[in-house]
Amino acid sequence: MSGLTVETAAGVSAFVEQLLNASRGGSPVDEETLALRMLASANGGEGFDSSHIKSLFGSDGGDRVAMDATAPPRDKFDEFADLMMSDLKPVKEVVASGGVPKPPPVVIEDVIVGDHAAGFDKADAIKNFSYLKDAQSVCQMFINIMLIKIRPGGFNITSEAAEAFKVQAQLGYNAMAGPMAGVYNFSEGVKQSHTFVIPRSQVHEKLLGTMFDGMKLDAGQKAMIDSEITNFVKGLQNIQIDGAHSTVDFALRFGMTPVKNITGDAANPISVYEPMTYLIYLTMDAGAWSRAVSKNSSEEMITMKYEHVVTKFELNVDRFLQQRPKYDKMFETATGMSLKKYGDLLNKSVKK
pLDDT of residue 280: 92
User: How far apart (Å, rounded) are the C-alpha atoms in residues 301 and 174?
Assistant: 36
- Kindly state the percentage of the chain with pLDDT values over 90: 27
**pTM as predicted:** 0.80
The domain locations on the chain are: 6-74, 77-351
**Who wins on pLDDT, 28 or 165?**
165
DSSP H helices in 212-337: 219-234, 286-293, 317-335
To the nearest 10°, report the CA torsion of 166, 310, 1, 171. Answer: 60
Query: How does pLDDT run across 330-342, given as a tens digit for each residue?
Result: 999 999 999 999 9
Q: Name the DSSP class of 347.
A: S
Range of weakest confidence among 166-180, 216-230, 338-352: 216-230
- Kindly state the percentage of the chain with pLDDT values over 70: 73
Q: What 3 state SS string does 88-137 have?
A: CCCHHHHHHCCCCCCCCCEEEECCCCCCCCCCECHHHHHHHHHHHHHHHH
Task: Check pLDDT > 70 for residue 114.
Answer: no
Distant-in-sequence, close-in-space partners of 332: CB < 8 Å, separation ≥ 6:
23, 338
Task: Check pLDDT > 70 for residue 60.
Answer: no
Mean pLDDT computed over 157-165: 87
Please enumerate, as own/partner, the contacts of 286-292 that have beta carbons within 8 Å and a separation of 24 or more: 286/162, 286/241, 286/243, 286/245, 286/246, 286/247, 286/248, 289/241, 289/248, 290/240, 290/241, 292/200, 292/203
Question: What is the maximal distance between C-alpha atoms in the chain?
Answer: 74
Task: Check pLDDT > 60 for residue 59.
Answer: no
C-alpha R_g of the chain: 22
Give backbone dihedrals phi and psi of 10, rounded to 5 degrees, phi first: -65, -40
CA 94 to chain centre: 17
Task: Check pLDDT > 50 for residue 262.
Answer: yes
Query: How does pLDDT run across 76-109, given as a tens digit for each residue?
Result: 788 899 999 999 999 999 998 888 999 999 998 8
Distant-in-sequence, close-in-space partners of 280: CB < 8 Å, separation ≥ 6:
211, 251, 252, 253, 254, 308, 309, 310
Three-class DSSP category at 263: coil
**Who wins on pLDDT, 93 or 49?**
93
pLDDT of residue 231: 83
